[in-house]
Structure 1
Amino acid sequence: MTPRRRDEQVGPTTATQLADALRARILDGEVAPGAPLREEELALRHGVSRHTVRTALAALAAERIVEAAAYRGARVAALDDASLIALQQLRGALETEAVRLTTETHGSAWPDEVTMPIDAAVDDLARAEASGDWPAITRAHALVHRTIVAAAGSPRIAEAHRLLESEILLLLAHVRPDYPPGALAHEHRAYLVDIMSSGGSAVRAHLDHSTALIRAARSSPDAD
């Protein structure tokens, strides 16, 4: 048997590729919350085994964007207001600690090496807003928050925060809060200034504001 070369790159598994494809469809809003995800149908559509489908769905269930129940199968998660509030509370805890660690290291005036990646992410958000592409806007918005958390230099906090991202993207795939064009980028430039001076209180105020807008949009007659 020929040994595997050390520099050989191992590609993604079929289950990982399927999970990526399903995640993209779900987070782009192509599959509605509560819609069933039938193993046999997915296996036929993607030309894979049902075992591969089950593995992919289990990965998405771990991200909490798919719900699986015995004898009922899997379906796209439907996040209610209680789930939204719990999600934002956990995000707030992680982002508050990340901001605290960054401020502990750099004080209330973060150096350019910290702020420049955040500013670049906000620039990406501004470009996404100019395009009017809502899925692109939600992803760019998530990147801003991910970059703020990454500035703390804590891999565990960054990993835990990243695991929450799919849930909020799923919610926003079907709900568009009332943000005037360009408002998100403007808000997040101000947010960066606020978190440097006010820390956790700025994080909580920011997330409370977004939670209120999301809840209002969900209750609107025009919501999906």
Structure 2
Amino acid sequence: MANSGGSRGRSGAPRRAGGARSAPRPRTNTPKSQRAAPAPPEPPRDFVLGAIPGATPGKWIDVWRERMPHVALVLREIAVADQRAALDDVDAALVRLPVHDPDDLHIIALYEERPVVVMSADSDLTAAEELDAADLAGEVVIVPLDDVLNAEIPDATAPAFAAPSDTAEAVATVAAGVGVVIMPMSLARAHQRRDVEYRVLRDGPTSTVALAWVRERTSADVEAFVGVVRGRTARSSR
């Protein structure tokens, strides 16, 4: 009986019209000298991140170290009063808005911080879970020289002594039972001690923490850190 697959030979290889088998394609081997050389490893380098007091970049640093193991992240604390000048000496920084002379900067707002009132642990103000500015009427409101909120409290009493040089000194004064001080919650946590407590000030001014860097110093590492703080994955595009 005739084979119904007459267009194939015994080996099953396809044949051209007329019964001729198609010739196999010749293999081409690329000479080793023409093969692309593997990319050399990136040299180690640093990424310097400035951070104002109270900033908490820990989660971003952890992601950076996993994603960029060849680039060491160096964390440098900067004062709010000096944050604009400090941006010239770091790759990027976590700052408090506003920043002076922002025209030559890239600025990405990250989050808002709520204000709190720090008081002695023995203060009657601790009886409330949260406070309003009206609750501070008659209180001595201490404003340290490194204050970042510029809160205005109607009917508050001005201190009869010079302003503390910094927030730490102001908290120590409050701990002694003298007055209260208003600051962002992160600073209150940073200066937490057993003899003071803090309560949210519902109608007080908030503080915006942002990522900033000098426009002319934008680099691949800066863009990578922007991706980290914005939650991009390692393979996502800008």
Structure with greater proportional helix content:
1
Q: TM-score, normalised by structure 1?
A: 0.21
Structure with greater proportional strand content:
2
